[in-house]
Amino acid sequence: MSKEVLITVCTGTGGIASGGEDVLAAFREALSSAGITASCRERCRVQRVGCKGFCSQDVLVDVAVNGAITTYRKVRPDMVARIVSEHIVAGMPVAEWVVDGSYHAFHEKQKKVVLSHCGVIDPEEIQSYRAVGGYGAAERAVLSMTPEEIIAVIKRSRLRGRGGGGFPTGLKWELCARHTADTKYVVCNGNESDPGAFMDTSLMEGDPHSVIEGMIICAKAVGSHRGYIYTKAEYALAVKRLNRAIEHCYAAGFLGKGIFGSDFDFDVEVFPAPGAFVCGEATALLRSLEGKRGMPSAKIWRTAEKGLWNKPTVLNNVETFANIPKIIEKGSQWFSRLGTERSGGTKVFSLSGKVRNTGLIEVPIGTTLREIIFDIGGGIEGGKACKGVHIGGPTGGCIPAARFDMEVDYESLAQAGSMMGSGGMVVLDETSCIVDTTRFFVGVIQGESCGKCAPCRIGTKRMLEILERIAGGRAKEGDLELLEELAHSIRETSLCGLGMTAPNPVLSTLRYFRDEYEEHIRRKRCRAAVCKALLTYSVVESACTGCGACKRVCPADAIRGTRKKPHRIDANLCVRCGTCLDACKFNAIMKV
Amino acid sequence: MTNSIEEIEHHDVIFVIGSNTTETHPIIALRMKRAVRKGATLIVADPRKIDLVRFARLWLPLRPGTDSALLNAMMHVIIREGLIDRTFIDARTEGFEALRESLLDCSPEWAADVTGVPAGDIVRAARLYGNASHPGIYYTMGITQHSHGTENVFAIANLALMTGNLGKKSVGVNPLRGQNNVQGATDMGCIPDFLPGYQKVAVPEIRRKFEKAWGVTLSDRPGLTATDMVKAALSGTIRALYIMGENSVLSDPDRDRTIRALQGLDLLVVQDIFLTETAALADVVFPAACFAEKDGTFTNTERRVQRVRKAVEPPGEARDDARIIAELSGRFGFDLTYDSIEDVFREAGRLWPALAGITYRRIAKTGLQWPCPTRDHPGTRYLFKGSFPRGRAAFQTVRFRPPLELPDEDYPLLLSTGRHLFHYHTASMTGRVESLVRIEPKPYVEISAADAEALGILHGENVRVSSRRGAIELEARISARPIKGVVFIPFHYRDAAANALTHSALDPLSRIPELKVCAVKIERVAQSTATTRQKED
Amino acid sequence: MSTTVTLRIDGRNVTVEKFSTILDAARTLEIPIPTLCHHPDLVPYGGCRLCLVEIKGAPRPVASCTTFVKDGLEVTTSSPRLERLRKTTLELILSDHPRDCMTCERAGDCKLQELAYFYGIRDPRFEGERRIYRTKDKNPCIARDMEKCILCGLCVRVCDEIQGVAAIDFAYRGFRTMVTPPFERELDCEFCGQCVAVCPTGALTGAMWAQKGRQDMRDVETICPYCGCGCTLTLHIRRNEVIRVSSRRETLNEGWLCAKGRFGYEFIHRTDRLKKPLVRIVPKSEAAALVKSGWSHERAASFFREVSWDDALDLVAARLGEIKERHGSDAIGGISSARCTNEENYLFQKFIRGAIGTNNVDHCARY
| Domain tally, chain C | 4
Under 8 Å between Cβ of C107 and C72: no
Distance CA A10, CA A21 (A): 8
Distance CA C345, CA C351 (A): 10
Q: Is the pLDDT of residue B395 over 60?
A: yes
Three-state secondary structure along B163-204? CCCCCECCEEEEECCCECCHHHHHHCCCECCEECCCEECCCH
Res A40: pLDDT: 61
Q: Map out the domains of chain A with their CATH numbers.
A: 5-99 (3.40.30.10), 126-338 (3.40.50.11540), 434-522 (1.20.1440.230), 536-591 (3.30.70.20)
Closest residue of chain C to A483, computed from CA coordinates: C126
Res B250: pLDDT: 84
Provide DSSP, A252-310: HTSSBSSGGGSS--BEEEEEEE---GGGGSHHHHHHHHTTS-------SS-TTTS-GGG
Contact A300 C66 (CB under 8 A): yes
C-alpha torsion sign, points C22, C24, C27, C29: negative
Report the amino acid identity of residue A502: A
Provide the b/e sequence for A282-305 (b: ≥16 CB within 10 Å). Answer: bbbbbbbbeeebbbbbbbbeebbb
> Which of A165-174, B336-345, B493-502, C180-189 is predicted least confidently?
B493-502
- Please tell me the number of Cα atoms within 13 Å of A430 on its side-chain side: 6
Q: Measured between beta carbons, which residues in chain C are less than 8 angstroms from residue B187?
A: 342
Interface of B with C in 420-459 (CB under 8 A): 421-425, 428-430, 432-436, 438-439
Terminal alpha carbon distance of chain C: 55
**What's the whole-number average pLDDT of chain B?**
91
Q: Is C49 contained in some domain?
A: yes
Against chain A, the chains showing at least 3 CB pairs within 8 Å are: C
CA distance B202 to chain C (A): 10
Distance CA B101, CA B76 (A): 10
CA distance C295 to chain A (A): 50
* pLDDT tens readout for residues B146-199: 888 889 999 999 999 999 998 889 999 999 988 889 999 999 999 999 999 999
Contact C287 B510 (CB under 8 A): no
**What's the whole-number average pLDDT of chain C?**
93
Q: Burial of A35 by CB count in 10 Å (0-12 exposed, 13-18 middle, 19+ buried)?
A: exposed
pLDDT class for B385, splitting at 50, 70, 90? confident
Number of Cβ pairs closer than 8 Å across A and C? 111
For domain B413-536, give the CATH number: 2.40.40.20
Closest alpha carbon to A326 in A349, A350, A348, A346: A346
The reply to whether C264 and C281 lie within a common domain is no
The reply to whether C237 and C210 lie within a common domain is yes
Res B530: pLDDT: 42
Contact B296 C343 (CB under 8 A): yes
How many residues in total does chain A contain? 592
Distance CA A196, CA A203 (A): 15
Given C55, C78, C101, which residue is the final one in a domain? C78
| Residues in Cβ contact with B441 at an 8 Å cutoff, skipping those fewer than 6 apart | none
Contact C174 A493 (CB under 8 A): no
Provide DSSP, A397-420: EEEEGGGTTSBP-HHHHHHTT---
Residue ranges making up the domain that contains C286? 275-307
Distance CA C311, CA A532 (A): 90
Q: Is C59 contained in some domain?
A: yes
Closest residue of chain C to B500, computed from CA coordinates: C292
Q: Measured between beta carbons, which residues in chain C are less than 8 angstroms from residue B367?
A: 230, 252
Mean pLDDT of C330-339: 93
CA distance B11 to chain C (A): 17
Contact C263 B315 (CB under 8 A): no
Contact C334 B186 (CB under 8 A): no
Give the nearest partner residue to C174 out of A448, A485, A493, using CB atoms.
A448
DSSP B292: G
Q: Which of B180, B238, B425, B516 has the highest number of chain C CBs within 10 A, making it the mutation to test binding with C?
A: B180
Contact B186 C264 (CB under 8 A): no
Report in angstroms the alpha-carbon separations of A123 from A50, A201, A208, C294: 6, 13, 7, 77
Res A198: pLDDT: 86
Q: Is the pLDDT of residue B532 over 60?
A: no
Kindly give the interhelix angle for B108-115 and B67-80, rounded to the nearest 10 degrees. Answer: 170
Q: Burial of A557 by CB count in 10 Å (0-12 exposed, 13-18 middle, 19+ buried)?
A: exposed
Report the amino acid identity of residue A391: I
Q: Is the pLDDT of residue A2 over 80?
A: no
Neighbour count for residue C278 (Cβ, 10 Å): 23
Contact B267 C268 (CB under 8 A): no
Long-range contacts of A174-178 (CB under 8 A, 24+ apart): A175/A302, A175/A304, A175/A305, A176/A222, A176/A224, A176/A304, A176/A305, A176/A312, A176/A313, A176/A314, A177/A147, A177/A151, A177/A221, A177/A222, A177/A223, A178/A304
Res A346: pLDDT: 92
Res A364: pLDDT: 93
Contact A454 C177 (CB under 8 A): no
Please check whether residue A30 touches C, CB under 8 A: no
When the candidates are 3.40.190.80, 3.40.309.10, 3.40.50.300, 3.40.50.740, the CATH number that belongs to B182-369 is 3.40.50.740
Under 8 Å between Cβ of B480 and B531: no
Closest residue of chain A to C150, computed from CA coordinates: A454
Distance CA C224, CA C265 (A): 10
Contact C173 A451 (CB under 8 A): yes
Res B351: pLDDT: 93
* pLDDT tens readout for residues C213-271: 998 999 999 999 999 899 999 999 999 999 999 999 999 999 999 999 999 999 999 99
Mean pLDDT of C131-144: 92
Res B82: pLDDT: 93
Please check whether residue B27 touches C, CB under 8 A: yes
The reply to whether C300 and C348 lie within a common domain is no
Closest residue of chain B to C285, computed from CA coordinates: B263
Under 8 Å between Cβ of B119 and B112: yes
Q: Is the pLDDT of residue A279 over 50?
A: yes
pLDDT class for A462, splitting at 50, 70, 90? very high
The reply to whether C152 and C215 lie within a common domain is yes
The reply to whether C171 and C70 lie within a common domain is no
The reply to whether C145 and C201 lie within a common domain is yes
Interface of C with B in 196-235 (CB under 8 A): 207-208, 220-232, 235
pLDDT class for B99, splitting at 50, 70, 90? very high
The reply to whether C144 and C255 lie within a common domain is yes
CA distance C103 to chain A (A): 25
CA distance A292 to chain C (A): 10
Contact C278 B55 (CB under 8 A): no
Closest alpha carbon to B301 in B184, B429, B167: B184
Please check whether residue C156 touches A, CB under 8 A: no
Report the amino acid identity of residue C60: R
- Top CATH class, B5-176: alpha beta
* pLDDT tens readout for residues A305-322: 999 999 999 999 999 999
Q: Is C116 contained in some domain?
A: no
Give the nearest partner residue to C175 out of A453, A457, A485, using CB atoms.
A457
Please check whether residue B340 touches C, CB under 8 A: no
* pLDDT tens readout for residues C171-198: 999 999 999 999 999 999 999 999 999 9
Distance CA A271, CA C158 (A): 29
The reply to whether C188 and C289 lie within a common domain is no
Mean pLDDT of A320-335: 94
Q: Which of A279, A295, A458, A500 has the highest number of chain C CBs within 10 A, making it the mutation to test binding with C?
A: A458
The reply to whether C201 and C252 lie within a common domain is yes
Q: Is C225 contained in some domain?
A: yes
* pLDDT tens readout for residues C20-30: 999 999 999 99
- Backbone angles phi and psi of B399, in degrees to 5: -100, 130
Give the nearest partner residue to C129 out of A457, A461, A485, using CB atoms.
A461
Interface of A with C in 431-470 (CB under 8 A): 446-455, 457-462, 465
Q: Is C280 contained in some domain?
A: yes
Give the nearest partner residue to A461 out of C153, C172, C175, using CB atoms.
C175
Mean pLDDT of A95-109: 86
Report in angstroms the alpha-carbon separations of A347 from A112, A230, A319, A322, C116: 9, 21, 9, 11, 48
Contact C89 A489 (CB under 8 A): yes
Q: Measured between beta carbons, which residues in chain A are less than 8 angstroms from residue C129?
A: 461, 465
Q: Is C125 contained in some domain?
A: no
Against chain C, the chains showing at least 3 CB pairs within 8 Å are: A, B
Q: Is the pLDDT of residue A39 over 80?
A: no
Mean pLDDT of B307-319: 95
Q: Is C198 contained in some domain?
A: yes
Res B526: pLDDT: 63
Report in angstroms the alpha-carbon separations of B159 from B61, B126, B481, B513, C112: 19, 10, 27, 24, 54
CA distance B530 to chain C (A): 22
Give the nearest partner residue to C52 out of A300, A449, A493, using CB atoms.
A493
Res B465: pLDDT: 94
Res A35: pLDDT: 58
Distance CA A117, CA A120 (A): 5
At B75, is the secondary structure helix, strand, or coil?
A: helix
Contact C151 A457 (CB under 8 A): yes
The reply to whether C202 and C325 lie within a common domain is no
The reply to whether C331 and C346 lie within a common domain is yes
Q: Measured between beta carbons, which residues in chain C are less than 8 angstroms from residue B28?
A: 229
Q: Is C91 contained in some domain?
A: no
Q: Which of C138, C219, C268, C298 has the highest number of chain B CBs within 10 A, making it the mutation to test binding with B?
A: C268
Provide the b/e sequence for A207-220 (b: ≥16 CB within 10 Å). Answer: bbbbbbbbbbbbbb
Give the nearest partner residue to A450 out of C46, C68, C173, using CB atoms.
C173
The reply to whether C187 and C241 lie within a common domain is yes
- Backbone angles phi and psi of C119, in degrees to 5: -90, 5
Domains of chain B, by residue range, sit at: 5-176, 182-369, 413-536
Res A37: pLDDT: 57
Under 8 Å between Cβ of C187 and C259: no
Please check whether residue C326 touches A, CB under 8 A: no
| For the ranges A13-17, A275-279, B50-54, the one whose mean pLDDT is highest | B50-54
pLDDT class for B527, splitting at 50, 70, 90? low
Please check whether residue C130 touches A, CB under 8 A: no
Report in angstroms the alpha-carbon separations of C199 from A264, C47, C107, C157: 50, 14, 13, 11
* pLDDT tens readout for residues A509-529: 999 999 999 999 999 999 998
Q: What residues form DSSP beta bridges with B473?
A: B464
Q: Is the pLDDT of residue B398 over 50?
A: yes
Do B and A touch, 3+ Cβ pairs within 8 Å? The answer is no
Given C31, C54, C78, which residue is the final one in a domain? C78
* pLDDT tens readout for residues B276-290: 999 999 999 999 999
Q: Is the pLDDT of residue A588 over 80?
A: yes
Distance CA A133, CA A210 (A): 11
Under 8 Å between Cβ of A478 and A493: no
Interface of B with C in 236-255 (CB under 8 A): 237-246, 248-249, 251-252, 255
Q: What is the CATH number of the domain that holds C46?
A: 3.10.20.740
Res B372: pLDDT: 93
Q: Measured between beta carbons, which residues in chain C are less than 8 angstroms from residue B304?
A: 230, 252
At A361, is the secondary structure helix, strand, or coil?
A: strand
Q: What residues form DSSP beta bridges with C74?
A: C8
